[in-house]
Structure 1
Amino acid sequence: MNHADFASGERSREGEQRAVVTGLGVVTSIGTDEVSFWRNLLRGETGVKPITVFDVEKHTNRMGCQIDDIPLSEYAPDALLKSGRATRILMPAIEQALRNAGLDKPVLSRCRVGLCVGTTMGDIDPLEDAIQGKRSEAFGGPHVITEQIGRLLGLSGPVWTFTNACAAGNFAIARAMDEIASGRADVMIACGADSLSWVAFTGFSSLRAMAPDRCRPFDVRRKGLILGEGAGVLVIESQAHAQARRIRPRAGLLGYGMSCDAHHITQPDPQGEGAVRAMRAALKMAAVPASAVDYVSLHGTGTQANDKMEAAALTAVFKETRLPAASSIKGHIGHTLGAASAIEAVMSVKCLEEGLAPPTLNLEQPDPACPVPVLMKEPAPGRYLIVLSNSYAFGGVNSSIVLSAVHPERPENLE
């Protein structure tokens, strides 16, 4: 097996439509477009600030990664002003990704374009307003996001909503890959989106899972997560469809793996057995050995249990080879729940393209109980050709995806 098999077509099974990424969009607390997001990741910027979108006076922790200036939608600015916050965050990211992929409205109308959205809370703010006796013009709920955006874009392909909590973005990407492979869609818009909400903030606070000031993934002094908000978007299509449009892919999507260990309603399995199964399933589907992985995008929440579990799972998957470089970006943007793995997929594509991996912000004293080669302080240059991106959720839901660089040359054989 070699790194270039994705581009050469040697992996294809008869009738299979290989999925590629042709467009990216992102809106976060450290950057509301691809360029600013990537630049500020490498600079080590953080979006942590006092929360103002809802009342936190009764909470011990009052910090989060809030987006102060949500970009306005270009397609439907007036309609989106009456939507929930998550939809308002997601729509500009989708528009960025469509432009990036060369898909304007006339092109969209000629293609079977579908939409997969992963979210934890959905458009929760209209429901929170109702609880407080306030009237809202917006409708609430997870499914409202896909309904509104599908209608505004006039999509004719499959439309899905995934509520697999913090792994939902990866589930949306996996479903999009399946829709392309099956030929049910020409183009899929795969997204993750969540906004800061009083319900989620209060819930994590009651679990004592939040840090008071900053997220320190894999640091011995870590005290928990910091919540954030944002959206990540990948435009996914078959390589053949991209070639017919004369669009050069930005990355390949080689495989995914999902599992559920159901160890505990909130705590992960300490041995990470479900996470191991998800990673191995993703690598098997991608036909990529563990030794070929150059970088791992870690879930890395900064909680004691999750970091230890992920370290144990990585050690098991890579026990017969070297541990690859790895980092978590949750110190930069917080835990964006259903958006997290989609934003991390955007980051993974940039890592493949730029030959740089972002640092793990706030990691100063690595925990000996988490023996993984986590990147610290500075971006790490390298020849990143295969990336494994992990995301986990409450209830033991585990997800992994494998992405590949697009290179014209054929590198050395990996076996």
Structure 2
Amino acid sequence: MKLAVTGSAMVTSVGEDKHRSFEALCAGQSGRKPLQSFDADRFNVSYAYEIADRPNRQDRVLRASEMLAKAVAAAVEEARLSVRDAAIGIIVGTGLRELRSLELFWTKGEPLTIDQLHFERILNETLGSALPVITVSNACSASSFALALAEDFISDGTFSHVIVGGCDAITESMFGLLDRVNPLHPDRVQPFERDRKGVLMGDGAAAVVVESVERAAARQADLLAVVRSVGTSCDAIHETAPDTGGLVRAIRDAYARGGVAANEVDLAMVHGTGTSLNDEAEAQAMHEAMGEAANAVRVSALKSMTGHTSGASGLVGVVTAIEALNNGVVPPTIGLVNVMDGARTMNFVREGWNSLFSGTIAQVNAFGFGGVNAVVILEKEA
């Protein structure tokens, strides 16, 4: 089922809203900063891609919820959607939810109540509504997977409109986990770079409002883009390592559901974490699923500028891809000097290269721990 996107928003380390983020991304600006959330002395790395919203570098509870609410409110406003409609639902994808708030509760005694951990409270307070909120925690593909669920709910008539959100804030425990998992100590994220060292976390949130194309036309809403399909797979081969076969199935499922051929895809927003396992598996999967088209499609890896925004990353890619389709420019992959062997023939948009773009179909990859994969196909509204 095709879905109309009538509102979109994002908050990232490079911009406080969609327009500032996209402008910064297209300019190749990095959100990399010295670590603010907690003391870096315990770790091997001292950088992250954080949103600069902490006065005096003082961390606080509910930052993830605040970022999510800001993005959702902006998307709803752009969509000109009345939240009094009882047939509206909200689906949020996240990897860590309010884990940082729990860390602050246990380690510093910051006040926190159980109901504050649920996004339903802050979202309905922000929107002045009483909408149902469903939260899914599907690792790094969570927000794209939430978009797949939105398609199901609208298709079966459960909701007339769905507000899809994604968010994650950097947490000390996850930062420490990645610090131990990375075999080397990265000071930045360099997707598909031969000399990449690993991944660093980033703050981020994004949201879109989706509805049927017919309903959007009936209420004379502006169409930002059309979701042709969301392809999914769950391979469960390994706790963290991606499986090429699972990635291929998700890509092909997206093509089949959307009625799109690989050679019709003009832009690919890749997952690109800057880790050897992910980048190699993703490059291999794209070549296997797309054939020769994998070498023609324009490729952009946003995590080179935003870091890994975990559960928000898929939807950050979706919002950025919509902006790219509508503005005719693609953000570059920064820090890409020597492309790794398995991706050497791919058509990356790089710093200083031509980023102008006139395509109509975009693909957004999102791959998560445990092999939970989601691939979104978007079409520019004619």
Q: CA deviation at 1:237?
A: 1.2
2:62 aligns to what? 84
Q: Is 1:45 paired with 2:45?
A: no
Instruction: Answer with 297-306 or 201-210: which moved more.
Output: 201-210
Q: Is 1:389 paired with 2:364?
A: yes
Q: Structure 2 vs 1, CA of residues 231 and 178 (structure 1 numbering), >3 Å: closer, same or farther? A: same
1:261 aligns to what? 235
Q: Is 1:399 paired with 2:374?
A: yes
Query: Can you give the 5+ residue segments of structure 1 that lack an aligned partner in the other structure?
Result: 1-15, 72-80, 408-415
Kindly provide the amino acid, as one letter, of the partner of residue 376 in structure 1: R
Helix, strand or coil: the match of 1:390? strand
Kindly provide the amino acid, as one letter, of the partner of residue 306 in structure 1: N
Q: Where do residues 158-177 of structure 1 align in structure 2 (5 Å cutoff)?
A: 158-177=132-151
Query: Can you give the 5+ residue segments of structure 2 that lack an aligned partner in the other structure?
Result: none
Distance 2:265 2:287 in 1: 14
Q: Structure 2 vs 1, CA of residues 32 and 209 (structure 1 numbering), >3 Å: closer, same or farther? A: farther
Helix, strand or coil: the match of 1:32? coil
| Contact 1:167 1:338 (C-alpha < 8 Å) held by counterparts | yes
2:280 aligns to what? 308
Distance 1:276 1:247 in 2: 35
Q: CA deviation at 1:209?
A: 5.9
Q: Is 1:228 paired with 2:205?
A: no
Q: CA deviation at 1:290?
A: 1.0
TM-score normalised to structure 2 length: 0.93
2:225 aligns to what? 251
Instruction: Answer with 42-51 or 53-62: which moved more.
Output: 53-62
1:328 aligns to what? 301
1:338 aligns to what? 311
Kindly provide the amino acid, as one letter, of the partner of residue 150 in structure 2: A
Deviations 1:375-394 (A, max 9, x none): 21145212211111101111
Q: Is 1:191 paired with 2:151?
A: no
Helix, strand or coil: the match of 1:381? coil
Q: Structure 2 vs 1, CA of residues 139 and 56 (structure 1 numbering), >3 Å: closer, same or farther? A: farther
| Contact 1:42 1:379 (C-alpha < 8 Å) held by counterparts | no
Helix, strand or coil: the match of 2:349? coil
Deviations 1:31-53 (A, max 9, x none): 01111101100110011011112
Kindly provide the amino acid, as one letter, of the partner of residue 288 in structure 1: V
Distance 1:254 1:158 in 2: 25
Kindly provide the amino acid, as one letter, of the partner of residue 98 in structure 1: V
Q: CA deviation at 1:156?
A: 5.5
Q: CA deviation at 1:291?
A: 1.3
Instruction: Answer with 32-41 or 369-378: which moved more.
Output: 369-378
Helix, strand or coil: the match of 2:188? coil
Distance 2:261 2:380 in 1: 16
Deviations 1:101-148 (A, max 9, x none): 112xxx21135221111111101123102331513235488x612343
Distance 2:348 2:281 in 1: 15
Deviations 1:209-237 (A, max 9, x none): 67431111111110011210110111111
Kindly provide the amino acid, as one letter, of the partner of residue 189 in structure 1: I
Q: Where do residues 48-67 of structure 1 align in structure 2 (5 Å cutoff)?
A: 48-67=32-51
Deviations 1:352-380 (A, max 9, x none): 11121111011111112323222211452
Kindly provide the amino acid, as one letter, of the partner of residue 122 in structure 2: Q
| Contact 1:84 1:139 (C-alpha < 8 Å) held by counterparts | no
Kindly provide the amino acid, as one letter, of the partner of residue 251 in structure 2: M
Kindly provide the amino acid, as one letter, of the partner of residue 258 in structure 1: T
Q: Is 1:369 paired with 2:342?
A: yes
Kindly provide the amino acid, as one letter, of the partner of residue 287 in structure 1: G
Q: Is 1:279 paired with 2:251?
A: yes
1:145 aligns to what? 119
| Contact 2:60 2:101 (C-alpha < 8 Å) held by counterparts | no
Distance 2:333 2:217 in 1: 36
Kindly provide the amino acid, as one letter, of the partner of residue 180 in structure 2: S
Q: CA deviation at 1:83?
A: 5.8
Identity %: 32
Query: Which residue of 328, 334, 347 corresponds with 1:355?
Result: 328
2:177 aligns to what? 203
| Contact 1:124 1:197 (C-alpha < 8 Å) held by counterparts | yes
Q: Where do residues 283-298 of structure 1 align in structure 2 (5 Å cutoff)?
A: 283-298=255-270
Q: Is 1:238 paired with 2:222?
A: no
Q: Structure 2 vs 1, CA of residues 398 and 188 (structure 1 numbering), >3 Å: closer, same or farther? A: same
Helix, strand or coil: the match of 2:69? helix
Q: CA deviation at 1:320?
A: 5.1
1:32 aligns to what? 16
Q: Structure 2 vs 1, CA of residues 217 and 263 (structure 1 numbering), >3 Å: closer, same or farther? A: same
Instruction: Answer with 297-306 or 259-268: which moved more.
Output: 259-268
| Contact 1:192 1:233 (C-alpha < 8 Å) held by counterparts | yes
Helix, strand or coil: the match of 1:233? strand
Distance 2:301 2:43 in 1: 26
Distance 2:127 2:184 in 1: 37
Kindly provide the amino acid, as one letter, of the partner of residue 385 in structure 1: T
Comparing both structures, which one devotes a greater share of its residues to helix?
Answer: 2
Distance 2:184 2:10 in 1: 24
| Contact 2:94 2:138 (C-alpha < 8 Å) held by counterparts | yes
TM-score normalised to structure 1 length: 0.86
| Contact 1:358 1:379 (C-alpha < 8 Å) held by counterparts | no
How many residues matched? 376
| Contact 2:93 2:135 (C-alpha < 8 Å) held by counterparts | yes
1:20 aligns to what? 4
